[in-house]
Each structure stands twice: as structure tokens, then as C-alpha cells.
Amino acid sequence: MNRSERIRIFCTELKQWFAVHKRTLPWRDLKIKDSNHRAYLVLVSEIMLQQTQVSRVIILYKNFIQTFPLTKHLAKATNREVLIAWKGLGYNSRALRLRDAAKTIVEKFHGKFPHDSEHLQSISGIGHYTAGAIRNFAFDLPTACIDTNVRRILHRCFVGPEASDGAFKVPDKKLLVLLEDVMAEAIESGWKARDFYAALMDFGSLVCTKNNPKWNLMPFKMRPIFKAYGKTPVADFSKKSLQGKKREPGREVAGKFIPNRIFRGRVIDAL
């Protein structure tokens, strides 16, 4: 089977799978017709999702948006106000970076999110993937961008399983070229950019998971095209993994080690 045929089958089967299994997430609300406001909601969700599970983000996202419903509201927020609204998500520097991004959008772009990747990435806190997510989800502009879900799906379908140390054998630069071809086929076959990327996110979260992929839930016709189908990712027994997980920063209190993140949480509680 050549690559073009593999891509065609992948797009066709993914579309059918997504029609049945797509997740309902608040930042995907298409009833919001204002694309600039959708861009704000996507930005907030993407920053939250960087290091926090979807189930937790859903709960806290709604409260955050109620507190700061528009970009201009977040741009005016103090550190204290932002951190209180962010409570429970952890990694609080993300909240301040998000607020600073909102300030830039208001001050430099007059409250309007730029549509092109270059200007989006000129905003502090918005990298290549987040810019692509905003373009795809908010503006429906087809943009190839890679995160952990996309990387894992493409690699397992077109290359094979990860290496024994968990690393991917093909660099993102090459996967990005492949993704552009896959996305071109998807758009040509009738996909909207926002739906295609939502499908990739959902498929990576529900089926093509990092550990113990749910191969039995994969569409039957998609199975033959996945080069990693039926193979369980190999545990990492490299020297690095055997050394154990690096201890996070913290301090000893009354003979007990307390991570710094716990102290930061207590500070927020006192605000």
C-alpha cells in the first residue's frame, strides 16, 4: 500500500469514527459566531491543557471564562485576580503568561487576534502549535501543527511503534511535511480544518493513547494501515529511566519533604 492510499483511508475512516465518538468540549462551541471570541476561548483552553488533564480543565475552564469573559477583561486583571481564577490548575506561571498574551492582543492588535501564524507567534506564550490551534479551531484555516497526540498518531500509522526508549524515530520536521499531505487530503475530501484537528485530538486521547492503546476500538478498515497496530509501546529501560525520576524542588519541614508547588498553592489560598 503506497502512502497516498494510506492517507486516503486514514482520512476517510477517521471522519466516520469522529462522527460517532467526538467529544463535547466547551471551547469547541460553534454557536459562538464571533471568530475573534472563539480565538480567545481556544487560547485559554490550549494554555490550560498544556500540563493539565482535559477532565480537570473542563471544570475550571468554565469558572475562568465566567471571571474573564473577554480578552479585554483578562488583559486588565491583576496577578492576584488571575491566580485566584487559576486556582486548581497548577503551574501558575501559565496563568500570568496567558494574561500577558491578552494584554499584547489588546495593546498591540487592538483586541483582535491576528489570523496569520507569524503575528500570532509574536505574542508571548503563543508558540507554533498554539498558533496553529487558534487558526484551525477559531478561524477554520487549515494549518499543520504538531502536538503529542498528532505526533503519536502519525508515527504509529505511517512509521511504526516508538523506539524501545519511547522516542519517535522520525523528527517533527519530517512529520510536519507528512501532516501537510494528510491535511490536504482531508480538506479536499470535505473536512473542515477545525473538525479534522478535533478528530485528531479525540482519536489520540481515546484510541491511540500513549500507553495501552485501545486497538480494539479502532475502525476495522483503519487497522491495516497502522504500522504499529496491535503492538504495545515498550517500557523505557534506558539508563535515564533507571536513574529514577528527578526530585522536584522543595524543602524539608519538620522532617518531611514539601514540594515548592504546595507552598505556592498555600500562597494562593491566602490571597
Catalytic residue positions?
46
Angle between helices 148-158 and 172-188 (to 10 degrees): 80
DSSP class of residue 251 equals: E
Q: What residues contact residue 148 under an 8 Å CB cut-off, 6+ apart?
A: 204, 210
Separation of first and last alpha carbons in the chain: 61
**8 A C-beta contact, residue 17 and residue 203:** yes
Phi, psi of 256, rounded to the nearest 5 degrees: -120, 135
By the 8 A CB rule, do 178 and 156 touch?
A: no
The three three-digit cell numbers of residue 132, written as one number: 496553529
Q: How far is Cα 132 from Cα 148, in angstroms, rounded to an integer? A: 14
Query: Which one-letter amino acid corresponds to residue 48?
Result: M
